[in-house]
Every structure is written in C-alpha cells, then in structure tokens.
Amino acid sequence: MKNKDIIIKYCIYFVSIAGLAICIVMLFPQVRQMIIEFGEWILQRKTSLYQEWNKGLLSYALGGICFIAFFDYCTLTASGKKMVRKVKNEIRECLAEFDLHFLIKPFLLMFGIYLLGILSIIRANFLYIDDIGRAAAGYRGWLGWSRYISEFSSIFVHGDYILTDISPLPQLLAILFSAIGSVLLVYVLNNGKITIIGLLASIPLGLSPYMLECLSYRFDAPYMALPILASIVPFMFHTRRKAFVFFSVISLLVLCLTYQAASGIYLLLTLILGFIDWNGKRKTNREVFLFLGWAALSFCIAMAIFKLFVMKPFNTYVSNTMLPLPQLIPGTLSNFQNYVNTINGDFGFIWKTLIGIIVCFFIAKVVSKSAQNKIISMTVAIVLLCVLFVLSYGIYLVLEKPIFVPRTMYVFGILLAIISIYVVSDFYNIAKIFALALSWVFLVFAFSYGNALADQKRYANFRATVLLQDLSALFPDKDVDKINIQLKNTIGYSPAVRNAGKHNPVIYKLVPQMLMEDEPWANYYYLVYFNYAPFSTANITLTKKDGEPYIDFNTLDLPVVLKTYYHTIKSDGKRVLVELNNDT
C-alpha cells in the first residue's frame, strides 16, 4: 500500500509539472499564435476571430494553472487531504439519508406526465429554428456560447461528431432530466417527503409555456433541461456545509457550460429554503444566514471561474457583457421592466388569475404556519416573492443586451412550480385545487401548442412549395441564373395558431412562421430544406442583413415578373424580391 501511495504521488508530480509547463508556455503570445495557426491548418481554413481565440487560450492557461494548484493542494497536502475526506464523509452521510428506490415510482409518474405533454410536439415533427441548419449541415456550434458540455456531450448522444436528426431521443433525454428535477424539487421543498399532489404541482417546471420552446428543439433540448437538474442537486446536500459547497460549485459550472439562462434556479431555491427555515424556526437566524452566505459564496465562485477562465465573449443578437457600473442600476431596472412586460403580454387572463390566486395562498400559508411574528412574516413573504420574481431572470438581468424570448425565461415556470409545491403541502384543499388547475392548463396548452406547430408546418410547407414552383419556373437553370433572394413581409400564422393565440398570446412567440422577412433561418428553410440550394449556398446567395455588402432590395425599383394570390416576385434577373402576401 505504501509503494502504491508513492507511485500515485510521483504520478501526480509528473502530471502537474507537465500540465504547468504547458500552461506557462501558453502564456506567451507567440505560442498561442502557433497553436491557432496549427488549428487553422488542421481545419484547412482561416479564422477571422484571432483576438477572441487568443484571449480564450490565455484564459485556459490561467485556469489550468489555478486548477493544477488546487488539485495538488487537495491531493498532496495534509490539510487538503483532510478537507477532501470531510467532503467525502458528508456526501456519504447525505446519500445514506434517502432511499433511491423510493424515488423510482415518483420519477416514472413525472416522466409519464412530461412524455404525455410533449407527444403532440414530437408528432408535429417540426424542425425548430436552429434545427433546420443542424439537420442539413450537421454542425454543433455551441462553443461560441461557451457551452462546452453541450458541444462535447452532443457527440456522445448522436454517436458522431457530425450531428444528425435523432429525434425524439434528445427530447426524451430532456424530459428525463426534467422528471428527475421535479422529483428532487418536491423532495427538497417538502423536507424529504414526496407526495403525488406535490409532484403534480411541479408540472410547471417541465411544461410551462416557456419550457415548451426548449423542448421543441430537436438538438438542444437535453442541454437546456440538464441545468434544471444540476441546479437542484446541491440542495440534496444542503444540511452538510462542505458537501453543499462542493456540489454547488460543480453544478453551477455544469449550468454555465450548458445553458446560462437557468442561472436563476439556484438563487430561487437558496432563498426559498432559507425563508422556510426562518419562518418555521427550523433553524436559528445565524444558521439561516450562514446557509445563505455559503450559497452566495458558492454562486460567486462558480460565476468567477466561468467568467475568468471559461467564458468566451460574444455579441450577436444577445450579449454576455455586463452593464457598466454607471449604467448598472438604470439598465437593470430597464431589463426588469421588459421582463415584466413580456410575461404580462405572453400570459392570458386565466393563467395570470390562477398565478395571482396561488401567490395569495402562498402568503396565507406563510402567515398561518409562521413561528415568527405574523405581520413580519407576511411582509417578508411579499418582499421574498418580489425578489424571487426578479431573480427568476438570473444573470440576464444585468446584461447589456439580454434577450426576451421564451427559452431564456423558462426559470419563471420553475418559480411557479416552487410556489405551487409549497402551497399544496399541508394546507387547505382549495389551495391545492388552484395549484393543480395551473398545472392542468399548462398541460392542456402543451397539447394545443404541439398541434399548432403541426398546422403551421403544413401551412409553411404549402407556401414554400408554391413559392419554389414559381421560382423554378422563372429561373429554371440554377447554374446559370445565380440569383440573390430576399423576402419581404411574412406568411403569417395558420388558423389553428391564431385560434390558440386568442387567449394565450405566447403561442405567437413559440410557433415560428418559417417564411418571414429578416429571419436567416427562413432562407435555409425554403431553399435548403426543400433542396433548392445547397447549405453552403454556393449557387444561390442567401442575402441577409448581417452579410456584406448588404443591399435592401426594397430600395430598388425592381420590375414585377410574377404576381399571384400568395406572393409577388420582383426581379431584374439577378436580384429577386419576394413580397409575401399575408391576409391574417
């Protein structure tokens, strides 16, 4: 055993020295340039992002040095080994406190419910936005967003570094993660108890209108759902400080490397658990504040590691750059106002009414179960709800250019699940009815949404077919008639989508129109998806606003070459403007 320990120690020495040498060498700009040039030679193409890759390699080198130093501390020093032993012992103690077999039936129930909820989405067989390009070209493309786990795990999921459409497997993985997340969320909030009513109340976690967009992606879905599970796992160990901090940092890094929009989940659970302990006097005020402090420290450590050593800057339709300090408060308030207005505009009257009633029951239960002063409890509960609502948008709240689309706001559904689970546990039956009613309307909406996707696909395919028939008649030889095409207006929505949107406006954001102006994926859809042009667009240039040079064909006096009920085509033989008719 002694010889084995010596061998392991010297192996660690060797690996550490080699790793440090590589990282230190990478600190020199000339070495980083050589690495970039070697990568370009391997890929057989030049990169236009030299500065970005240069900074990235520098960050990786610094991060590698810090990681090696921490690893050596944990494995080679007495205090480090002692810390590791304590963490391992705490993890064992926590795992011994709950029976994994006890979680199987609740998991199967939630998996069945979520599977039922997305059946209509799977049946729609809808290529959702990015899916069009991934299915046609097989690229991954998550590295640009610093989503390294998504990038490399997709190779394993798809069994190849070139992606192919393997739906519904990714969506099944997504509801697998969501189902486990629902079960663990109920377990954590109910202090180790799992009830059917609690599980049903957690349905907004996996089937909220915003989460439905994540489940619509046939390639990205599992990597959007995994952060939900990762954010909940640390709280299985929240009674043991060292184990909690360890899992918090690891889980938050998993979140950052998959889908950063989920960053608010950890904060929500931290505050709600701390509040429950304080309100019921299950812990002293000192213990509650220590828990909040360790959670905040874990969050800051994970975010700092991601920011300093992993994150790649990007600035497209959304930016990961934080607001400058002078604009932090007004910018954050502006982002929050947009967040509130978006949710208010997306949700129908019935949904907002049910949410309002459930919130009232939350405050009522807080007061009725409080071991503190009732007035203080009610005041703190109202403040807590406001803070939870603010934090549900996560770190996006302090970005210079955030995005307010359903998939980036799905933590709001998890907030509703948290509130509903708390309300249905050991409280009046009338509160349970309203919480279950919210879960029911979300489940029903999932069916409606999936069917609306199918109907919009039917309508978009019809419009694309008519358009391509006319284009092929006007320009029959693609090798000779090399044309640039721009779309004007949109095709609108099918009748089924418009009907669903009468009371639930969010469906207009969830269902892509597929053929519309200023939407790059519309080009890929009606040209590449229907095999009219190759993905590389070698024969037909897909002109869009971020291309160079860009000329708006609307500013040109192009003659009308064809006018039909569905569209008007203008062209000078090379430039084609398609004005889509939309009577909706």
Sorted by sequence, the CB contacts under 8 Å of residue 502 that are 6+ apart come out as: none
Structure confidence at residue 53 (pLDDT): 58
Q: Kindly report which listed range (50-59, 68-77, 322-331) carries the lowest average pLDDT score.
A: 50-59
Helix (H) / strand (E) element for 569: namely: strand 567-571
pLDDT reported for residue 106: 94
- pLDDT at residue 481, as a whole number: 59
CA 96 to chain CA mean position, Å: 32
Predicted local confidence at residue 32, as pLDDT = 58
- The tens digit of pLDDT for each residue in 134-179 reads 888 888 888 777 888 988 999 999 988 888 989 899 999 999 999 9
Per the prediction, the chain carries an average pLDDT of 86
pLDDT for res 547: 46
pLDDT score of 123: 94
| Dihedral sign, Cα of residue 30, residue 32, residue 38, residue 40 | negative
Q: Is the pLDDT of residue 395 over 70?
A: yes
| Angstrom distance (rounded) from CA 62 to CA 52 | 16
Sign of the dihedral defined by the CA atoms of residues 283, 287, 288, 292, in that order = negative
pTM across the whole model:
0.90
Residue 515 sits at φ, ψ, to 5 deg, of -120, 110
Residue 575: the pLDDT is 85
Band of pLDDT at residue 294, cut at 50, 70 and 90: very high
Which amino acid is located at 327 in the chain?
Answer: Q
Collapsing DSSP to helix, strand or coil, 513 comes out as coil
Mean pLDDT (whole number) for 23-34: 67
197 neighbors 437 (Cβ within 8 angstroms): no
pLDDT bin (cut points 50, 70, 90) of residue 24 is confident
**How many CA within 13 A on the CB side of residue 301?**
14
**Which DSSP symbol is given to 143?**
G
User: d(Cα 20, Cα 6) in Å, to the nearest integer?
Assistant: 21
* pLDDT computed for residue 392 by the predictor: 93
485-511 average pLDDT score:
91
In contact, 483 and 574? CB cutoff 8 Å: yes
The vertex-129 CA angle with 127 and 130, nearest 5°, equals 95
Dihedral of CA atoms 568, 572, 577, 582 in degrees, nearest 10, equals -10
pLDDT in tens, 219-268: 999 999 999 999 999 999 988 888 999 999 999 999 999 998 999 999 99
Quick one: which of 582, 570, 478, 495 has its CA closest to 530? 478
Classified as helix, coil or strand, 160 is coil
